[in-house]
Amino acid sequence: MAIASLMPTDQTIVEFDVRTDEMLVNMGPQHPSTHGVLRLVLRTDGEIVSEVVPHLGYLHRCAEKIGENVMPIQFIPYTDRMDYLAGMNMNLAYSLAVEKLCGMKIPEKANVIRVLVCELNRIASHLVAMGTYGLDLGTFSPFLYAFREREMILDLFEEICGARLTYSYITIGGVHDDVPDGWLDHVTQFLDYFEPRIPEYHTLLTTNHIFVKRTANIGICSKELAIQHGCSGPMLRGSLDRRKNDPEWDLRKVEPYCDYDKYDFSAVLPPFDMAPPEAKLGDCWHRYMVRMLEVVESIKIIRQGLDRYKTAAGSHRIELPKHLPAGEAYAESECPRGQMGFYVVGSPAKAQVPLRVRARSSSMANLSLAGKICEGCLIADIPAIIGSIDIVMGEIDR
Amino acid sequence: MTATEIIATLDAECGSKIKDKKTDAIDPFIVVEPANLVAVCTTLRDHPKLRFESLNCISGVDYLEPDPKKVAKAGFEPHVEVVYHLCSISLRHRFVVKVLLPRWKDDKPGELPEVPSLVEIWPAADWHEREVFDLTGVMFGGHPGLYRILLADDWVGHPLRKDYEFPLEYHGIRGR
């Protein structure tokens, strides 16, 4: 009798079993899966994310303003600290812009050393991307293997320039020093050790059932969307399709610098033989796979570079002019994360310092897409998508 | 396509809207008035021979010599430039478009000069324009959310202006 009186008499009252309100979730800036100090504000409805707004600037260090106040050669160490996982490539990107402005012609030997160290750095950077991506998705062991191999590359860099992270080795006009005795043999030894280990990573991660479940068909980014947002690097190439005759958009191929056109390698473009049936073009799995296969191409380039070094002519470095000429130059190069561009404006008054240095960050363009591709995904997929973009906040915030 | 051919194609399409062109620069560029920017950029994106699908970079450059003793030798009049670096992925060519602006709108210090936003043409412009607004101090008319992107929301001034003065303190933190 008492129970019956508690039942609603009005039949229009409808009961919901689970009611979810819209909730704002703040992810970061101190969050292990945001790869640095990125803050994401998620608008969630239960487990579904309806909006992602990235907030940047936690690592802003006014690198562009510093560039206006120091000579180009003094700015090289600051470029290391932008993308700290690929310092060599960043040194090269800035050097290329200043050399374009000054109209310098770099000797063959310097170019060969540049290609060698840049490709080694690309391998190191992609290893970190692979290892930390595993961490994001909850597997720890690939990270240990990736860092074991990366450590050897850092040892090679230590031997060549003394630094393990912030190299400042490539400078304007070439490279800082010639390679030390025996270094080339050490590189060969490393490659002989490293190459047979790549299939191990594929067993550990690429074909891992859980990994495929977490990455395949998640965070799909179409080719048009990627191009409109200025994406580049693995982010763009993961969305291109060789079967549809999409361009091989790798700057080393389409606009070769440092004599990359003389090396035999191919740009990595889907489709991939190893693709699981559930993977779709442009998803997290494809972006990850582009990086893994680029490592193999880099090994090819380094092996050719080692042979080319023996016959390379010229010096490892040439003098740079005392004053920057008037005018402006914009140069882009293919960094591990995408196209890194530097825009250098020389002062008409022939000053030693440039009037303006602008860094076009590849990760920033890639990240600007995050809001679009995260729409409608689950909260648990956010680390998977952000990890697959492979951002370095130092480069985005500068 | 070389830069000369790009400029010739543009000339035929919307020649009256191009204010100036420089073909002997390292990266040849054209200069357009802010009012014509959207029309020229739409042509650049949609013309079948140009097809610039990708906007790679927007930079704001402040041309000012802050030292009064060096003004005579500076070699430029004080102004602000907004530089757009474009790239065509399908046709594999690059091009540069510039907009020249006064340092302050109507010469009133503090009033930011204005250019139309290109977000409708290239979504990539969104964050780049916010950054140029934040650091160089240029307004982008029609931008959907022109907030500071790298600096704090309550920051005063635009640091990449040559006459920018670093604040003495920020929320109790000593500046200099």
Q: What are chain B's domains?
A: 3-174 (3.30.460.80)
Token representation of residue A294: 């680029």
Residues in chain A whose beta carbon is closer than 8 A to a beta carbon of chain B?
56-57, 60, 62, 64-65, 68, 100-101, 227-230, 247, 249, 254-255, 326-330, 332, 339, 341, 343, 345, 347-349, 355-356, 358, 360, 364-365, 368, 397-398
Question: Residue A359's domain is classified under what CATH number?
Answer: 1.10.645.10
B62 close to A (CB below 8 A):
yes
pLDDT at A9 over 70: no
Beta strands in chain B (DSSP E): 18-22, 29-32, 54-63, 79-88, 93-101, 114-116, 139-141, 169-170, 173-174
**Domain region containing A115:** 60-397
Beta pairing class for B114-116 and B139-141: parallel
Closest CA to A252 of A143, A370, A336: A336
pLDDT of residue A7: 56
Split at pLDDT 50, 70, 90, the class of A5 is: low
Beta strands in A161-270 (DSSP E): 170-171, 174-175
Evaluate whether residue A38 is within a structural domain: no
Asked if A290 contacts A93 with a C-beta cutoff of 8 angstroms, the reply is: no
pLDDT of residue A12: 60
Split at pLDDT 50, 70, 90, the class of A126 is: very high
Evaluate whether residue A42 is within a structural domain: no
pLDDT of residue A186: 92
Q: Which of A328, A366, A397, A398 best probes binding to B when mutated, by most B CB atoms within 10 angstroms? A: A328
The predicted model gives A363-384 an average pLDDT of 88
Weakest-pLDDT range from A26-40, A183-197, B31-45: A26-40
Contacts with B25 from chain A: Cβ below 8 Å = 327-328
Beta pairing class for B29-32 and B93-101: parallel
Which member of B27, B55, B150 has the closest CB to residue A230? Answer: B55
Q: In the predicted model, what is the mean pLDDT of chain A?
A: 87
pLDDT at A4 over 80: no
Split at pLDDT 50, 70, 90, the class of A273 is: confident
The predicted model gives A97-112 an average pLDDT of 90
B176 close to A (CB below 8 A):
no
Residue of B nearest to A54 (CA): B149
Split at pLDDT 50, 70, 90, the class of A174 is: confident
Contacts with B53 from chain A: Cβ below 8 Å = 227-228
Closest CA to B139 of B98, B108, B168, B105: B105
| Residues above pLDDT 70, as percent of chain A | 95
Evaluate whether residue A68 is within a structural domain: yes
Split at pLDDT 50, 70, 90, the class of A78 is: very high
The predicted model gives A151-177 an average pLDDT of 90
Evaluate whether residue A329 is within a structural domain: yes
Number of domains forming the structure of chain A: 1
Evaluate whether residue A111 is within a structural domain: yes
Backbone phi, psi, residue A360, to 5°: -95, 110
pLDDT per position as a tens digit, A296-326: 999 999 999 999 888 888 888 888 888 888 8
pLDDT of residue A1: 47
Split at pLDDT 50, 70, 90, the class of A155 is: very high
Evaluate whether residue A80 is within a structural domain: yes
Split at pLDDT 50, 70, 90, the class of A243 is: confident
pLDDT of residue A15: 55
| ipTM exceeding 0.95, yes/no | no
The low-confidence residues of chain B, meaning pLDDT below 70, are: none
Evaluate whether residue A340 is within a structural domain: yes
Evaluate whether residue A241 is within a structural domain: yes
